[in-house]
Amino acid sequence: MAPKPTTDRQRAATLADVGREAGVSAMAASAVLNGAKTSTRIADDTRARILAAAERLQYRPNGAARGLAEQRMHTLGLATLLPGDELNQYFLEVFNGIVEAAARAGQSTTVFALEDWRQGASRLAALCDGRIDGMILLAPLLQLDDAASLPTHTPFVAVHANHALPGVVNIESDEEAGALAMVRQMIALGHRRILHLAGPTGSVGAARRVAGWRRAHAEAGLEPPPQYLVPGEFSIESGRVALEAWLQRHRGEPLPQAIFAVNDAVALGCQQTLAARGLRVPEDLSLVGFDDTLLARTAGLATVRQPLRELGHRAVELLVQRIEARAARRPDPAGPTQVLATEPVLRASLAAPAPTSRTVA
Amino acid sequence: MAPKPTTDRQRAATLADVGREAGVSAMAASAVLNGAKTSTRIADDTRARILAAAERLQYRPNGAARGLAEQRMHTLGLATLLPGDELNQYFLEVFNGIVEAAARAGQSTTVFALEDWRQGASRLAALCDGRIDGMILLAPLLQLDDAASLPTHTPFVAVHANHALPGVVNIESDEEAGALAMVRQMIALGHRRILHLAGPTGSVGAARRVAGWRRAHAEAGLEPPPQYLVPGEFSIESGRVALEAWLQRHRGEPLPQAIFAVNDAVALGCQQTLAARGLRVPEDLSLVGFDDTLLARTAGLATVRQPLRELGHRAVELLVQRIEARAARRPDPAGPTQVLATEPVLRASLAAPAPTSRTVA
DNA sequence: CTGAAAGCGCTAACAA
DNA sequence: TTGTTAGCGCTTTCAG
């Protein structure tokens, strides 16, 4: 028997259609086709008739209608800034973890691209409009006031929020410990002049890496000079430009023995500047990143590993738990901030400093 | 039976709530709050009362309900294989383009992670359940039969489909021309032994790159020996392993002068194998990729640029056009397959071959 | 200008 | 075991 194309191509068949075709009511069809919650049993022959009718009509349940009735769309929202012109590997790895875990939990993921977080805060409320069951905020830069405008009827989970927001469970990784452990290693290798290309002021993540860098120095009884802390952004371009500018400003001074960049992208940017000047890694200068994105793995870049996929997984698991608790009218299982471990990853770009100091050309 | 009190923070305020609060009907509220299509005008004072009530109650329209009534969710679906354990840059760049363009068009994007395309074909129908208005297939591997099971009430657009599917508009790039132009350049530089690490059999994209590689040789009166065509997958790992195996199989023979990889990931894999053997790029061997992903840009890898973001943009634009045409009951503007241009990008990994031939060690 | 009523497609109490 | 009856929250047509 060939599958019969439905004559009506604009609309799909509904439960009512199936019911009519099978000579039963729509809810009998509902009970048979979409396993009803109530322990309603349907006689075998009716069931067969309904199944046949559904097959004949190519019946497909309508998710929007089901969602409206059930108050559950089985869809998670993901709010994030648009990666912009330069692909953000950090975002992509976490995103990957989220989609993966969501699929495993039978949820799909709707991505909302925000322009910026200021405007985003008010938009977030509008996005929780019943099309998603919960929302994940990816590296949100939100202030306390913003949390007030977040809807209370949709659970929120954040990954690497810059602020503890009431009602929003945060999942992050121990960036300070990672930075500390890494810079400790660098100092143990003999490095003394470790330039830190930091992130933007206002980012907690960046601040924590600075703190780790500082603490490692302090532990060793060292104090890095102020000009060894260079603010910047999280991008390749920023790393390239910031390092070039720094080198030009400090011409004639001793060349740093190592660079500890706020993330892999910035480290890659440094790499480009160094290459353009004929400086070799790690012979002339060691280079260390942060995140352990694919970029670092392919470039042989020493870095601090953050479990990015895992962060995504956790966010989804926690969010789904909160959604289900709410649906079951159980108490919200929202716990405290979850902090995952980080670890230094040693690769070819990090070596002991050369015995003789070079000078910035 | 009385409605639940508004103290219930589980639920958001509805139009009915707002109407009650303002002493008007729900549809008056609807007309004011969600710009009604009909030219129904509301008196200024009623309008003000409604607005005030909405503000007081923190009214937010419910997207699911609106979608059900309007038959339009303003959401696009994106079906794709899960990147798996290795992040797929190709996917990510197209994805980025899609989300970007969708946001611009006022649509959000729901990602459906498929296990594989066989099973996917039947799942696709289930995914078109009224929660999305149209679907983008990212690099689908579908057979003709599969198209038969696709629902006709949801428009489909594919990016780099391996097959022209009826009703599914395909957007692709001219991979053969790109490969041809690149290999031509390599031959013009003096390369004669150009190893092609190809993709899986069954992928049209891979086949087209092979075709370009062949044609460039033929134009120059050359014919590459059969062992210079090496099948593999699209991943870094595959590139690494395939090249290593090839080198072991051909020990003692002349070393290829250049490698033309099916994509950037495979080229990076080759890079790793070469580095492990102490072979230098481009001094000992030139290396060329395909796609121009971020990986190639940061690694200084010569490659063939595919406009990946642009492919995503086009897919969204076309899909939105088809959705709107359908909503307006205008004829479907689905045109023929769109083919975007590709171009060789010369970078440091490609240079003229060394004058003396080396031997595989 | 405003409200009543019907319906989008489905689910879930409650009767029969 | 089945059908009836209400919604879920919103839009739209049609009366008043």
Q: How long is chain A?
A: 361
A101, B91 Cβ separation under 8 angstroms = no
CB atoms within 10 A of CB A47: 18
Partner residue facing B298 (CB), from A61, A66, A236: A236
Residue (of A160, A181, A206) closest to A304 by Cα position: A181
Site from A57, A66, A95, A110 to mutate, B interface, most B CB atoms within 10 angstroms: A110
**3-class DSSP state for residue A109?**
strand
The full DSSP string for A164-194 is --TTEEEEEE-HHHHHHHHHHHHHHTT---E
| C1’ D2 / CA A51, Å | 17
CB atoms within 10 A of CB A11: 11
Q: Which residues contact B70 (CB under 8 A, 6 or more apart)?
A: none
On chain A, the residues whose CB falls within 8 A of the CB of B294 are 86-87, 89, 295
pLDDT at A124: 92
| C1’ C3 / CA A8, Å | 35
**3-class DSSP state for residue B94?**
helix
On chain B, the residues whose CB falls within 8 A of the CB of A61 are 129
B245 touches chain A (CB under 8 A): no
pLDDT at A35: 67
H helices of B164-293, where? 175-188, 204-219, 236-249, 264-276
Residue (of A157, A323, A137, A125) closest to B58 by Cα position: A125
B60 touches chain A (CB under 8 A): yes
Percent helix / strand / coil, chain B, rounded to 5: 45, 15, 40
Query: How many angstroms separate the CA atoms of A294 and B183, rounded?
Result: 28
Cα B224 to the chain's mean position, in Å? Answer: 32
Query: How many angstroms separate the CA atoms of A87 and A98, rounded?
Result: 18
Query: How many angstroms separate the CA atoms of A150 and A165, rounded?
Result: 10
Cα of B59 to nearest chain A Cα, Å: 10
H helices of chain A, where? 15-22, 26-33, 44-57, 63-70, 89-104, 117-127, 144-148, 175-188, 204-219, 236-249, 264-276, 294-299, 308-327
Is 80 exceeded by the pLDDT of residue B11?
Answer: no
Partner residue facing A96 (CB), from B9, B87, B298: B87
B254 touches chain A (CB under 8 A): no
Residue (of B75, B83, B63, B172) closest to B129 by Cα position: B75
pLDDT at B344: 98
pLDDT at B132: 96
User: Do B87 and A93 lie within an 8 Å CB cutoff?
Assistant: yes
B57 touches chain A (CB under 8 A): no
The full DSSP string for A71-91 is T---EEEEEEE--TTS--HHH
**3-class DSSP state for residue A264?**
helix
Which nucleotides of strand C lie under 7 Å from a protein CB? 1-5, 7-14
B123, B116 Cβ separation under 8 angstroms = no
Residue nearest to nucleotide D9 (CA to C1'): B65
Is 80 exceeded by the pLDDT of residue B120?
Answer: no
Which nucleotides of strand D lie under 7 Å from a protein CB? 1-5, 7-14
Query: How many angstroms separate the CA atoms of B78 and B129, rounded?
Result: 14
Give, in degrees to the nearest 5, the angle at Cα A81 between A77 and A86.
130
Which residues sit close to strand C, CB under 7 Å?
Answer: A 11-12, 14-16, 26-27, 30, 34, 36-38, 40, 59-62, 65-66, 68-70; B 24-25, 27-28, 31, 40-43, 46-47, 65, 68-69, 71, 130
B89 touches chain A (CB under 8 A): yes
Residue pointed to by tokens 């977030």: A124
**3-class DSSP state for residue B75?**
strand
User: Do B113 and A126 lie within an 8 Å CB cutoff?
Assistant: no
* pLDDT per residue rounded down to tens, chain A (361 residues): 223 233 334 678 888 888 888 888 777 888 888 765 554 567 777 888 888 888 888 888 899 998 988 889 999 999 999 867 777 899 989 999 999 999 999 999 999 999 888 887 788 999 999 999 999 999 998 888 888 888 888 999 999 999 888 889 999 999 999 999 999 999 999 999 999 999 999 899 999 999 999 999 999 999 999 999 999 999 999 999 999 999 999 999 999 999 999 999 999 999 999 999 999 999 999 999 999 999 999 999 999 999 999 999 999 999 999 999 988 888 999 899 999 999 999 999 999 999 998 999 8
pLDDT at B38: 58
Query: How many angstroms separate the CA atoms of B210 and B205, rounded?
Result: 9
Residue pointed to by tokens 């309900």: B65
pLDDT at A87: 75
Query: How many angstroms separate the CA atoms of B287 and B280, rounded?
Result: 10
pLDDT at B40: 58
Residue (of B49, B61, B76, B47) closest to B13 by Cα position: B61
B332 touches chain A (CB under 8 A): no
Please report which confidence band the pLDDT of residue B19 belongs to, taking 50, 70 and 90 as the band edges: confident
Instruction: Read off the pLDDT of each residue in B2-15 and give the average, rounded to a whole number.
Output: 55
pLDDT at A40: 57
Query: How many angstroms separate the CA atoms of A242 and A250, rounded?
Result: 12
B327, B263 Cβ separation under 8 angstroms = no
User: Do B109 and A110 lie within an 8 Å CB cutoff?
Assistant: yes
pLDDT at B4: 35
B10 touches chain A (CB under 8 A): yes
**Per-residue model confidence as pLDDT tens digits over B57-79:** 888 889 999 898 888 999 999 99
Query: How many angstroms separate the CA atoms of A108 and B109, rounded?
Result: 10
Residue (of A27, A33, A31) closest to A53 by Cα position: A33
Paired sense of beta strands A194-197 and A229-230, if any: parallel
pLDDT at B37: 59
Please report which confidence band the pLDDT of residue B338 belongs to, taking 50, 70 and 90 as the band edges: very high
Check whether the bond before A254 is cis (ω within 30° of 0): no
Angle between the A63-70 and B63-70 helix axes, to the nearest 10 degrees?
140
User: Do A299 and B294 lie within an 8 Å CB cutoff?
Assistant: no
Cα of B175 to nearest chain A Cα, Å: 23
Is 50 exceeded by the pLDDT of residue B140?
Answer: yes
Site from B75, B136, B287, B298 to mutate, A interface, most A CB atoms within 10 angstroms: B298
User: Do A130 and B64 lie within an 8 Å CB cutoff?
Assistant: yes
Q: What are phi and psi of B316, to 5 degrees?
A: -65, -45
**Per-residue model confidence as pLDDT tens digits over B21-55:** 888 888 888 888 876 555 556 778 888 888 888 88
Query: How many angstroms separate the CA atoms of A312 and A90, rounded?
Result: 11
Cα of A89 to nearest chain B Cα, Å: 9
B16 touches strand D (CB under 7 A): yes
On chain A, the residues whose CB falls within 8 A of the CB of B323 are none
B322 touches chain A (CB under 8 A): no
Structure tokens at A245: 């500018």
